[in-house]
Chains A and B, each alone.
Chain A
Amino acid sequence: MPAILNRLRPYAMIAPALVVFSLFYLYPIGYMIHLSFHDWNFISPVKTYVGLNNYREMLADDTFLQVLRNSALYTVMTVLLATGTALPLAIWLNRKSAFHAFVQGAIFSPHIISLVSISLLWSWLMDPEYGLLNGLLHLFGIGPLQWLNDPDTALISLVIVAVWKSLGYNTLVFIAGLQSIPPELLEAAALDRSKPWTTFRRLILPLLSPTLFFLVIINLIGSFQVFETIAIMTQGGPINSTNTLVYYIYEYGFRYFKIGYASAAGVILLFIVGALTLVYFRMLSRRVHYR
């Protein structure tokens, strides 16, 4: 008898975690896919099966296509800026001194603050009439800019906020990556009188590529799910110029009660996140393979 108990023990230890994951992560995904083939307003007792109608309706909806475009544009700009500037910053700030630790802490600080704080703060900084940003631009004779109020600049304004929030995190992850490079390699390069740029391109960048790749994927997935800044700062406006996927799903689910339609949009997001995740694990396993 105790032998059987011993065999069952590891399963019992994992069971509580697995129950949580199955109930709140795996099952809901199946449920969402199921709902996406139905028409339901949340109140009516019947869910009508409509096949692919929700998807057809969605792909014919100009707003949805704009939402996809906004999400893609926001994501590409955020990822390029937030990882592209973090790497040079990391190389610049990669020193172990109290001063450097202070600078690193300062640029990291927005990462641990609630997005509510950040959204409210930046709404005020970007206020077209009395905001600090226009005040600073005024010193250089520029402006005033309309920031979030102008459909042409609203999305870029949100990108600025996202970059401000994630730059420090990205930089610190890069610094951790830089510090994991064996110092002997860098010393060898210095002894060979390798030029800094060559050292960077031939030695540092290849060794840092897993970190770079991790950051790009994490930032891509994160940016596709942007919600808080949009809900608080723009509500998707003006004229849908900042309406993105998660906000769109939220509105259709909780404002228009079109549960099936919102679920179909959720499935699209699932595909995007799933594809990115697959690419990530593919690249990871390939890297392990070649080593």
Chain B
Amino acid sequence: MSMNNAGREASASGASGINRRIDARRIRAFLELVLLVANRACMLLLVCAFALPFAWMLSTSLKTLPETMIFPPEWIPDEPVWSNYAVAWRSGPFFTYLLNSLIVAIGILALQMLTIIPAAYAFARFRFPGKGLLFGLVMATLMIPAQLIFLPVYLMLSGWKLLNTHLALILPFASSAFGIFLLRQSFMQTAEELIEAARLDNAPEWKIMLRIMAPLARPVLVTFALFSFISHWNDYFWPLVMTTNESARTLPLGIAKIRETEGTATWNVLMAANVMLAVPVLLAFFAAQRQIIRAFVYSGVK
């Protein structure tokens, strides 16, 4: 009925028809705005599912112990208790842990650079018998996780008297199949003429590799470095297995151990320790979000 009416009125008077069309456009624009806002609101809700746990960690780290034992829980402590951080820091040799974490993560990265750059260069730029087989061998190790070989490697390192040393945490990761794979891709894309020109100038091969190829592959090297550093900085499994002595243990192990020294239910101190472990990484992440995401997502995109 009303549709009919509307049609008749519109044909009766041209001017009001135009008005109506404008109205319809306005209504559509309004609906689109509502949809957009609803869409964005849903996305913010999704963000909450990831931000709230971190906010809860921060909130707990500033509470007194009795304040953590309120149900239903409250978000804002009466007065922020900063001393939780000091208690957490003093509960173990955290300076040693921190130093060990840095030594291990940087040591691994340095050795990886030394081993993956020449290997990737050889796989990308030389022809030699057995190349396919050797590359296959490298790629096969990409699929062997630390969780599979920790027991035999532990026995080997124990035989070499290397347990409880930094070397036990560094040497097994001194090269990276993933790094070789990434870098080889990048080296293969470098223009042939550049290398030919350098060879005509009688530049030695190592100079071509370090002075021409490596700088050109810098974005890939940075990507890989971020991936490697963050992965080993965070690692819990390997140092747990290879060390028993506090002097060689790393930050994640130290944080996990607070549960034993300070008691399992001292959540305020535990969360303070957790903030110290997680927040630097989160800050780095938000500072270099695009680079870090690319570093981790790279392997998924062919």
Q: Do A and B bind each other?
A: yes
Tell me which residues across on chain B come within 8 A of A9, comparing CB atoms.
122, 126, 205
Q: Is B285 close to A, CB under 8 A?
A: yes
Whether A16 contacts B175 by the Cβ 8 Å rule is: yes
Which one of B25-33, B78-86, B147-155 contacts A? B147-155
Give the distance in Å from the alpha carbon of A25 to the alpha carbon of B282 in the complex.
32
Q: Is B186 close to A, CB under 8 A?
A: no
Q: Taking the nearest CB of chain B, how far is it from the CB of A34, in angstroms?
A: 9
| Residue among A103, A109, A125, A266 making CB contact with B148, cutoff 8 Å | A266
Please report whether the interface of chain B is mostly helix, strand, loop or mixed according to DSSP.
helix
Query: B34-88: which residues lie under 8 A (CB-CB) from chain A?
Result: 40, 43, 46-47, 49-54, 56-57, 60, 68-73
| Residue among A42, A169, A210, A227 making CB contact with B302, cutoff 8 Å | A210
Cβ-closest 10 pairs across A and B: A173-B300, A114-B234, A28-B152, A13-B118, A13-B122, A10-B126, A20-B175, A225-B147, A10-B122, A17-B175
| Residue among B40, B49, B137, B293 making CB contact with A172, cutoff 8 Å | B293
Name the CB-closest residue of A to B119: A17
Q: Taking the nearest CB of chain B, how far is it from the CB of A276, in angstroms?
A: 9
Whether B50 contacts A21 by the Cβ 8 Å rule is: no
Tell me the B residues contacting A by CB distance below 8 Å: 40, 43, 46-47, 49-54, 56-57, 60, 68-73, 114-116, 118-119, 121-123, 126, 128, 131, 134, 137-138, 140-141, 143-145, 147-156, 171-172, 174-175, 177, 180, 205, 230, 233-237, 240-241, 252-253, 255-256, 259, 267, 270-271, 274, 277-278, 281-282, 285-286, 289-290, 292-293, 296-297, 300-302
Between A and B, how many residue pairs show CB distances below 8 Å? 251
Tell me which residues across on chain A come within 8 A of B47, comparing CB atoms.
102-103, 106-107
Tell me which residues across on chain B come within 8 A of A115, comparing CB atoms.
234, 236, 252
Give the distance in Å from the alpha carbon of A105 to the alpha carbon of B47 in the complex.
9
Q: Taking the nearest CB of chain A, how far is it from the CB of B272, in angstroms?
A: 11
Q: Is A113 close to B, CB under 8 A?
A: yes
Give the distance in Å from the alpha carbon of A139 to the alpha carbon of B68 in the complex.
18
Tell me the A residues contacting B by CB distance below 8 Å: 7, 9-11, 13-14, 16-18, 20-21, 24-29, 31-32, 35, 42, 89, 92-93, 99-117, 119-122, 124-125, 127, 129-132, 134-135, 138-139, 164, 168-169, 172-173, 176-177, 180, 210-211, 214-215, 218, 221, 225, 227-228, 231-232, 246, 249-250, 253-254, 259, 262-263, 266, 269-270, 273-274, 277
| Residue among B70, B121, B144, B147 making CB contact with A246, cutoff 8 Å | B147
Give the distance in Å from the alpha carbon of A108 to the alpha carbon of B282 in the complex.
11
Tell me which residues across on chain A come within 8 A of B121, comparing CB atoms.
13
